[in-house]
Structure 1
Amino acid sequence: MANRWGLRGQSTLTLLMACLLALIPALFIGWQALDDVRRHFATRYAEQYTLLHMQRILAPVSRELALSRRFADSVVTREWLAAPDDADKRERFFREAEGFRRQFNGDAYFVIHHASGDYYYNDATSPTSRLPRYRLSAEDPEDAWYFSTMESSASYNINVNVDAKLELAKVWLNVKVMEDGRPLGLAGGGLDLSRFLDDFLRDDTAGLTPMIVDARGAIQAHPDRDRVALSSGAREQLDGDTPKLQAMVDDPTQRERLEEAMLESRRRPGEVHTLEASIEGEPRLLTVGYIPELQWLLVSSLDLKTAPILEGRWFWPLVGALTLILAILMAGAAYGIDRLILGPLRRLQHSARAIADGDYGGHLPTERGDEIGELSRAFAHMARQVERHTQELEDKVRRRTRDLEATNAEMAAARRQIDASLEYASIIQRAILPSRQLEAHLEDHHAVLWRPRDQVGGDFYVFRATEAGYLMGVVDCAGHGVPGSLMTMLARAIIDHAILKVGPDDPALILNETDRQNRATLNKDTLPASIATNMDMGLVWVAHGADRLTFAGAKMSLYATDGDALEVHPGGKRALGQKRRMTYENQDMPLRRGWTYALCSDGFLDQAGGEQGFGFGNRRFEAMLRRHARASLPAQIAAFEAELDAYRGDYPQRDDITLLCFRSEATLEAGQPAPAPSTDQETSWTS
């Protein structure tokens, strides 16, 4: 062979170069590992930061709280608050309070007399004042913190608040002063809020934000003072405007995880719990620790993007070197593949395209001695075979095309004949519906929605006018399309015969006679089990001048509504022609003026639609009837059809739909005898 390496050797060399390209997934895996390491160190860093700051906060605040409790529990304090008018006790208290003031880090103390509401406050600017600064009032919203504190069950609280009357912003340590279960007042000290934030929360570390929250999530301290929930420590109930940590978390699931971490931290003081959450649209790593002595939670928010977790001095030069090596390897692989494989294959491709365009005389690279040359020679042989078979196939295609054109012409003619037959059947079925009879006798006090699923269907409506009154109803035969339309013709004849036999003024008797004749006409023993011959029917008889109507139904209900009330009168539970017989009975009920009465086949109720493809349903149908009950009947039918189409959307119509509505108006209640029906009217009412 001219080339002793051959295609196999060339492929081996190319594969070796491709192996070098495996550096790409290696780099990806390394990047993932580096990211995991970075996250691990970030988590440990945030946890240690939180533990350290918990200790930094605990020591000074615990000291202030202990001093405040000693100050409030002092015998001198209780004796003076119990007898504030005693001059000796008063002087003794203020001398001792001055000693406590010097020990407080905030260099200030306060005491409140519960009975009078007098508020005393002394700091370095007025260390010996004996007069109250102001008097608390339950009517003043700014004093609500005090009354909430005294009503709570806790003996103390730590409250971050701005005293507007003193114009001071402090972290107040409020301790109750009690005597035999009786409240005497409130006493304690306060840390300057700005100094507290500077000492414990304002940190120059990039990407790290510490904050203090209480057990409910109300923010007690934050580097941004606008986010502090002022006075929340003194309130047992928080309003909706109180700044809370949970409200800063965007995702509800992450919010639940944060609350679980806060609860778990309270259960296990000393442990720090970590979770990832999106804070105001930015991903953050949160660490939560609990300080039980202060009943505070310390939460640290770490931004992994800006936090200095890993140094980048060595990382980016390494990435640049690896990228350069990868580029060199890729260039070498591309040149080798193009030179050894892709170039010859492109020449073979050009020859193949020429053959595809009908040019079988093109030159193929058959002179090579490797696998590419063998492929070229095989391809040349194939091209000669393709040329011969193409000519034979073109002859066959011309013959088959002539045959197919003839067959298509026959099928088109048959299809036109079928469509014409269905259209003719639809015209006949529409012609025998009693639309003109209803219009002549009821005028605008009736309306009908009749929509077969196909051109013809198995639903129809009936009407007969006599000198005594009107009979009207809806019939839903089993099946739809051509089978359903045949059933309507048979059902018409059976119902017509039943009317002639029992009369039009007894709907239940008509149903029973129709059921009997249906069973006698259609012997189910001679029909396949898959063929259904049952039908749903609802009939209403209204006598002239009467204020009542008679209804009987077979698996069909009568609906009546005035827009406020809705009555549903169910018919018999079994359809006509079902295997198990039943005797249908009349229902006599008032015929109310202005009410809308409706009979509907199950095609409306079962129509699929909505997002899940469920049926329209009885509840939605009844609400629709009530909603449009006060409109005119034609407007009601238009609204019903629009709501059905909107609900159906892109779903196909599932069954035939018939809806008949009528009202008790002048036409129905005139009391005038209707003209005697002609022969045509007698034979067309059931269509």
Structure 2
Amino acid sequence: MAKRLGLRGKSTLTLLLACLIALIPALLIGWQAVEEVRRHFASAYAEQYTLLQMQRIVAPVSRELALSRRFAGSVVTREWLRDPADPQRRERFMTEAEGYRQQFGSNAYFVIDDATGDYYFGDAPPNGDLAPSYRLSPDTPGDSWYFDTMSSTSTYNINVNVDQTLEQAMIWINVKVRDNGETLGLAGGGIELGQFLNRFIRDSAPGLTPMIIDSRGALQAHPDQTRIALSSGSSPLEAENGQRLQSLVPPEQREGLRSAMHDAMRRPGHIIALDVELEGEPRLLSVGYIPELQWFLVTALDLQAAPVLDSRWFWPLVAGLGLVLALLMAVFAYATDRLILSPLGRLQLSAKAIAAGDYATRLPTGRSDEIGALSRAFSDMADQVADHTQRLEEKVRQRTRDLEQANEEMRRARRQVDASLEYASIIQRAILPSRQLDHHLADRHAVVWRPRDQVGGDFYVFRATEQGYLMGVIDCAGHGVPGSLMTMLARAIVDHAILLVGPHDPAAILAEMDRQNRATLHRDTLPRSIATNMDAALVWVDPRRDHLTFAGAKLALYASDGERLEVYPGGKRALGHKRPEPFLNQTLPLRRGWTYTLCTDGFLDQAGGEHGFGFGNRRFEAMIVHHARVELAAQAAAFEAELDDYRGEHPQRDDITLLCFRFDPPPTTERQTGAPAAS
């Protein structure tokens, strides 16, 4: 898809991507700014709403408080409470109380005679004699509010209460009636709670929840009437009963709420704002204090629900941004085509012409901008390419002739090397005693000889006498031509050692070979990178006496009848090792029908298998036991097949030589005539 777009599409797409990338942080910053503006206006909105509600609350309650104070401080009220039974005082009180009743917002008043506990309630014009509605008693739990109020030091309190007797839910203004320091009773008026809530609470703006609390946090007004702390002005409240504002916020935020209430109390007329979780929901609280009533007006604002900002401007703004972006991309695409793509198209045509071999095509170079500089540079490059091409073609022709001549010389040298290696292989095979083995042992022996290269450093030896046979394998250091040259030297050393000590003592032969190796090669004068060591294993077989003698240098002799396996290790050091070691003969019984095997380490070290590990002693020994009773020629073929199967795709690592032999019980006639024990 990227190829089909072309430079115009790619540049436009790049511009769009850049705009989108730049738009992401811009939107984040803009959203943060909108949220800050929204919060600012929300705070101001909540503050102004709280101040307005405070004024709406102060006016009616202050009026009721002033009327209640005048009513409680009236001389007529005090005289009547001194002697409630006096008809004249009662008549004057009823007349004056009727005037106050008509002025109270609830059209009702109450008076309590502290001496008798009689509770007088007037909510209608007097009709006959004034009689108490009921009598308060300290033993009645519902009347405890009065006795708690009278025992307090304040001269008045404002209390939300449900009078169970009168079945009225009221905001009461309770003012003590005192005369010359003596408390005569309690008097005042009230505001009907339902009207109050409709005016100040339920008539609230969307997203706003107004509440009225006293100095202890008790809810005096709340849209949910079950939250209102009835008789809170005269009775204690439980901490977590849901009727205190503190119980609606988490414990860790209550100290902040207390501080806000304290600050609002110290600065009446100011609004204190704080963020809280109100019943698990985030809210912005605005707290204001009304000193006349000793109340707090608290407004809880839900920033998500409050209509602070109008969202109708959002989609026009998005459409405007999209239009600006589309216009910007169109202008950018046109400018890119006019200023860049068209000149590049002409440059592309010239490049194709030069690629086709037409160097005469030229571009207009009159422009002074980067495109003009590119055109001039391209024209200069075309001239240089034409010149370099001509020179290069001449050099290629010359180098081709030189390369053909060098290849011919290499082919001649390769033919000479191959012929030399073939001749060396013929010579090396000539020193191997394969004919002697076939003549004396026939099918009682088998040989696996596999040099890694055309020639190698392994060979085997055989010497027959009237008393028996000397057989062995020798592994010289190195491969290829160096290894084959070492075999020539080793063969001469072996022959000379046998001539000196005889064929019947393998340990003495190895010792003489070690001495001649050190005397001939002078290891101390050779570089360290040249190895002259040899591994060897020699066996002298005496068929007449049915025993054999084995000696080895790092190579072992294996014997098996197909069920058992016996391994006779050789010495731990090779011939020519820097630390010489004596070689010892091991005289063993010749077991007729057993297969004896000598092998160089190339077979054991051959890499193969899944992980490229060596063939290994355990696998080699199991192979010998498995094929011990097979004819020797078939046994050698099985050894090679199993090695090739294990090797797989891995190259041959070292030269491999394996010699195995077996002596069957000879016929009775042959034993009596004394023929050599090759049968």
Q: How does the TM-score come out when normalised to structure 2?
A: 0.50
RMSD: 3.5
State the Cα deviation string for residues 588-611 of structure 1 (Å, max 9, x = none): 112222221111101111111122
State the 1:489 CA deviation: 0.7
Q: Percent identity?
A: 70
State the Cα deviation string for residues 505-556 of structure 1 (Å, max 9, x = none): 1111111111122222221222122211111110111113332211111110
- 8 Å CA contact 1:574–1:582 kept in 2: the answer is yes
State the 1:342 CA deviation: 4.8
2:24 and 2:594 map into 1 onto residues whose CA distance is: 76
Q: Which residue of 2 aligns with 1:525?
A: 524
Q: Which residue of 2 aligns with 1:466?
A: 465
Task: Flag the 1:355–1:645 CA change in 2: closer, same or farther, 3 A.
Answer: same
Structure 2 matches for 1:219-618, cutoff 5 A?
341-342=340-341, 344-364=343-363, 366=365, 368-618=367-617
Moved more, 609-618 or 339-348: 339-348
State the 1:329 CA deviation: 12
1:581 is aligned with what amino acid?
A: P
- 8 Å CA contact 2:563–2:625 kept in 1: the answer is yes
Structure 2 matches for 1:631-670, cutoff 5 A?
631-666=630-665
- 8 Å CA contact 1:545–1:668 kept in 2: the answer is no
Task: Flag the 1:21–1:369 CA change in 2: closer, same or farther, 3 A.
Answer: farther
State the Cα deviation string for residues 121-160 of structure 1 (Å, max 9, x = none): xxxxxxxxxxxxxxxxxxxxxxxxxxxxxxxxxxxxxxxx
Task: Flag the 1:656–1:383 CA change in 2: closer, same or farther, 3 A.
Answer: same
Q: Residue 447 of structure 1: SS of its match in structure 2?
A: strand
State the Cα deviation string for residues 248-294 of structure 1 (Å, max 9, x = none): xxxxxxxxxxxxxxxxxxxxxxxxxxxxxxxxxxxxxxxxxxxxxxx
1:650 is aligned with what amino acid?
A: E
- 8 Å CA contact 2:8–2:341 kept in 1: the answer is no
1:444 is aligned with what amino acid?
A: D
2:384 is aligned with what amino acid?
A: Q
Q: Residue 484 of structure 1: SS of its match in structure 2?
A: helix
Q: Residue 461 of structure 1: SS of its match in structure 2?
A: strand
Determine which structure has greater relative contact order: mean sequence separation of CA pairs < 8 Å that are 6+ residues apart, divided by chain length.
1
State the 1:578 CA deviation: 0.6
Q: Residue 540 of structure 1: SS of its match in structure 2?
A: strand
State the 1:18 CA deviation: 3.3
Task: Flag the 1:11–1:501 CA change in 2: closer, same or farther, 3 A.
Answer: closer
2:408 is aligned with what amino acid?
A: A
Structure 2 matches for 1:161-172, cutoff 5 A?
none
State the Cα deviation string for residues 562-586 of structure 1 (Å, max 9, x = none): 2221111001111111111111111
Q: Which residue of 2 aligns with 1:97?
A: none
- 8 Å CA contact 2:8–2:336 kept in 1: the answer is no
- 8 Å CA contact 1:468–1:673 kept in 2: the answer is no
- 8 Å CA contact 2:473–2:599 kept in 1: the answer is yes
- 8 Å CA contact 1:466–1:676 kept in 2: the answer is no
State the 1:492 CA deviation: 0.7
Q: Which residue of 1 aligns with 2:4?
A: none
Q: Residue 577 of structure 1: SS of its match in structure 2?
A: coil
State the 1:368 CA deviation: 5.0
2:495 is aligned with what amino acid?
A: D
State the Cα deviation string for residues 93-112 of structure 1 (Å, max 9, x = none): xxxxxxxxxxxxxxxxxxxx
2:675 and 2:637 map into 1 onto residues whose CA distance is: 29
- 8 Å CA contact 1:14–1:337 kept in 2: the answer is no
Q: How does the TM-score come out when normalised to structure 1?
A: 0.50
State the 1:655 CA deviation: 0.9
Task: Flag the 1:572–1:335 CA change in 2: closer, same or farther, 3 A.
Answer: farther
2:23 and 2:674 map into 1 onto residues whose CA distance is: 96
1:528 and 1:615 map into 2 onto residues whose CA distance is: 29
1:660 and 1:330 map into 2 onto residues whose CA distance is: 90
Q: Which residue of 2 aligns with 1:623?
A: 622
State the Cα deviation string for residues 190-248 of structure 1 (Å, max 9, x = none): xxxxxxxxxxxxxxxxxxxxxxxxxxxxxxxxxxxxxxxxxxxxxxxxxxxxxxxxxxx
- 8 Å CA contact 2:457–2:476 kept in 1: the answer is yes
1:590 and 1:668 map into 2 onto residues whose CA distance is: 19
- 8 Å CA contact 2:454–2:480 kept in 1: the answer is yes
2:538 is aligned with what amino acid?
A: L
2:637 is aligned with what amino acid?
A: A
2:463 and 2:563 map into 1 onto residues whose CA distance is: 31
1:452 is aligned with what amino acid?
A: P
Paired residues in the alignment total 372
State the 1:377 CA deviation: 2.1
2:528 is aligned with what amino acid?
A: A
Task: Flag the 1:384–1:563 CA change in 2: closer, same or farther, 3 A.
Answer: same
State the Cα deviation string for residues 648-686 of structure 1 (Å, max 9, x = none): 122211111001111122579965766899xxxxxxxxx
Task: Flag the 1:330–1:563 CA change in 2: closer, same or farther, 3 A.
Answer: farther
Task: Flag the 1:357–1:510 CA change in 2: closer, same or farther, 3 A.
Answer: same
2:589 and 2:624 map into 1 onto residues whose CA distance is: 19
